[in-house]
Structure 1
């Protein structure tokens, strides 16, 4: 956070930070930690939106994050209409979220960063974590079994899920609720 703060100051970008002390990973029960830390983060986002008078909070999720979400959400038995779990524009806990990098793969983003001197951090996801195991073990296995096209198939599944969700909401739920 210190590096990001210094870079923001150097660029004339307002920086906000909220340290979560109310719970601690590895000490607090995982489900309690996940729920409480999410509530704290989104309250912080809402506070920033309100104080700065902006429309949304912007996240850096990319196509790889979406593909990981699809795998994770399928394993967690998420509903068919929300397999992606994220969209380019979304509302979560009353906070509008923009994800402008979502249509792009990580290699495109890194190429842009290198070309224009934009600093970034290497992936620090622990290998022992669920995401780390997915990246280091499951995804290479899926690529060996199904070829690299499996990633695009996950992205297509996410897109179809979003389209079906919109169809159901616009043509079934909203007319019914009126």
Structure 2
């Protein structure tokens, strides 16, 4: 039975210190479930001293989408709750319309910076989610259905406090408190697989199998326990593989094929990369095992295998630096360097300060560039290679030259020994590793 006391116990179980001081919101669609959840959270907040907000995502997929937004605004006004409505454009991108809308919705959730975002999924939703995963051939993560709590964005969490309660419990609460709601007409459309489960398949299974829903929920709980244990082991494995501060391929190779796949998946996830399908993961694992080098493009990221290590870069990091997109930059050296975020650091063998007051050029390294290092002229790319700079970073490394285009200093590394002075200046850019 859903009561305010029962809800507050769920809140206390999840947040022993309460929600005071946490930016908390309810994802409000206008449907009965989210209407009830917001009412419960507002009532709990009045007792505990916190004030929740509401967030409505306007997908524009229904002819009544504007009516839903108006309803949410009026309902929040009635409760005295702040509402933010966000309009989004849903693009399928190879997904079904439901999945695409859900993906867009969760992306917006993550951007809003809430500490806690409460979603109104309930016990019957959990059963449907499990059965959908079975029908679609989902693995352990899909079959474990919806966790009560999971991370959101960088620091927030998603919280599903109504999972212990049934759809009927929510209806009873709404009727008791006279709560309004707006019905999504698509909820009865059995063209959607979830609705076929809800209106046809699950009622028939429940009629034929005693306690069917309870059995499903027991399975979900067991699978969630298994998943939690697996994730603990994978995190420990990944810590060891990355224990030296980087992904060590030699360490990774000591694991079984299954564990290697899970370590890779976790490594990508921790670096913000959308995890590719099983075939793509298998290809990455094969190259790491058989080849000395490898490169993969993964939705805005690049993965590089080199010298026994696996590196992750955002694709724009491996493009020519933004300040050099148009080629070289000429002018007063001190001015152009500071304008483009270089820090002029003291160095035992740096450039004379007076030289930075002269005109010069800022550009990336060229194949013919040389610098005097310890009295010997060396090719700049060889210098970078000797410093173990990754091959794909060398062509975009910034270099400072005089007005005649003669190299003076390699940013973040060294100045030409023949013109350097004690306690001189070396330009350092924060987007590149420091090599001295």
Query: Structure 2: which 5+ residue stretches go unaligned?
Result: 1-67, 240-436
Structure 1's consecutive aligned runs of 4 or more residues displaced over 6 angstroms after TM superposition are none
Please say which structure displays the higher CA radius of gyration.
2
Aligned pair 1:67/2:108, yes or no?
A: no
Instruction: Calculate the TM-score normalised by the size of structure 2.
Output: 0.35
CA RMSD of aligned residues (A): 2.4
TM-superposition CA deviations, 1:44-69 (whole Å, max 9, x none):
21232x2xxx3121110000000000
Higher helix share: 1
Inter-CA distance 93–76: structure 2 relative to 1 (3 Å threshold): farther
Kindly state the Cα deviation for residue 30 of structure 1 after the two structures are TM-superposed.
5.9
Equivalenced residues, count: 168
Cross-structure match for 1:161: 223
Kindly state the Cα deviation for residue 157 of structure 1 after the two structures are TM-superposed.
0.9
Higher strand share: 2
Aligned pair 1:114/2:182, yes or no?
A: no
Inter-CA distance 141–33: structure 2 relative to 1 (3 Å threshold): closer
TM-superposition CA deviations, 1:141-177 (whole Å, max 9, x none):
2123213x1111111111111011112222x223222
In 1, the alpha carbon distance for the partners of 2:206 and 2:221 equals: 20
Inter-CA distance 144–165: structure 2 relative to 1 (3 Å threshold): same
Cross-structure match for 2:144: 84
Aligned pair 1:43/2:107, yes or no?
A: yes
Give the match's secondary structure for 1:16: strand
The correspondence for 1:19, drawn from 51, 74, 87, is: 87
Give the match's secondary structure for 1:104: coil
**2:117·2:157 contact (CA, 8 Å) conserved in 1?**
yes
In 2, the alpha carbon distance for the partners of 1:162 and 1:132 equals: 24
Tell which deviates more after alignment, 132-141 or 159-168. 132-141
Instruction: Calculate the TM-score normalised by the size of structure 1.
Output: 0.81
Aligned pair 1:142/2:205, yes or no?
A: yes
